[in-house]
A = this chain, B = another copy of it.
């Protein structure tokens, strides 16, 4: 089975991935937090029934959280295929995953339905089209909670309206090196965009990766939201590329040293935390972005950034690894793959 992060993507020198998700709820049910197990099972069955005839859209695997080992739950989160919120009530939550892993339909997360499309690189058009198609299709069968004035009703008021959240994960090492990132984040917040770390709300930026998304879901059409975000992302892409060009002109040796040191450390270390690995992988990506290193692909770096996360590192090992053992295994995996 392919993975979203194994594909090449557009504008991949800056944009790692694009994500679109809509939140929907069924009219005749309480929100997931209020439901008992029977009710949540009814919602699940309604969604599964509605999905049955969506076969033309690709094959989906249905997975109940309760059927997953805790480790596998965390791996799905590290791969960004499900949200951390989905595993909060394992007995009620489940998801459908399209076999290319670009589409996840989460059932009984914070809302009854969360349709997520995740694509490599910058691709709001395809992301939105896919998401919209599934949404329209499901709406033919399911009775979504919708208010004439407010739009789609959601568990959390911040999602009411379109229920849409669009985001791009950008890698902006040059904006971080030069400090531009701070004023950028302030500016984005002012125009109603959120800037987060790689694991969404409340997480810190690591590896110079920032997830930029719309905050508002009310009062704007989906296409407007996406168009506005897309324009901002292109501004960020251009700014990052400009600053890279300046840096390669003015601080070439220093940047080369930073890039190659990180490569050397990744190739030789015997112990490494995920945070340190992310920092070095970010520098290697910067090397690729600046043409300093050429024999590595962006998606290989993205894949490594996923594979070195704590749960993924534990995968395939029978016993629970200690932190030291994970750090050793991580270093060993990186040496093997890079």
Contacts and interface: CB of A to CB of B under 8 A. Distances in A.
Contact of A257 (B253, B264, B266, B331): B331
Contacts of A256: 270
A265 B283 CA distance: 14
A260 interface: yes
A257 B271 CA distance: 6
B253 A263 contact: no
A261 B254 CA distance: 19
Interface in A233-285: 253-254, 256-257, 260-261, 263-271
A158 to B, nearest CB: 44
A264 B269 contact: yes
Interface residues of A, number: 18
A254 B268 contact: no
A254 B269 CA distance: 10
A283 to B, nearest CB: 11
Interface string A30-72: 0000000000000000000000000000000000000000000
A232 interface: no
Copy total for this chain: 2
A219 interface: no
A192 interface: no
Output the residue of A261, A266, A269 with the most chain B CB within 10 A: A261
A185 interface: no
A324 interface: yes
Contacts of A265: 261, 264-265, 268
A206 interface: no
A288 to B, nearest CB: 15
Contact of A268 (B260, B271, B324, B328): B260
Nearest to A267: B264
A261 B269 contact: yes
B268 A264 contact: yes
Nearest to A258: B270
Interface of A: 253-254, 256-257, 260-261, 263-271, 324, 328, 331
Given A263-B268, A264-B266, 5 more contacts: A253-B270, A254-B271, A257-B331, A264-B267, A265-B265
21 contacts: A253-B270, A253-B271, A253-B324, A253-B328, A256-B270, A257-B269, A257-B270, A257-B331, A260-B268, A260-B269, A261-B265, A261-B270, A263-B268, A264-B264, A264-B265, A264-B266, A264-B267, A264-B268, A264-B269, A265-B268, A267-B268
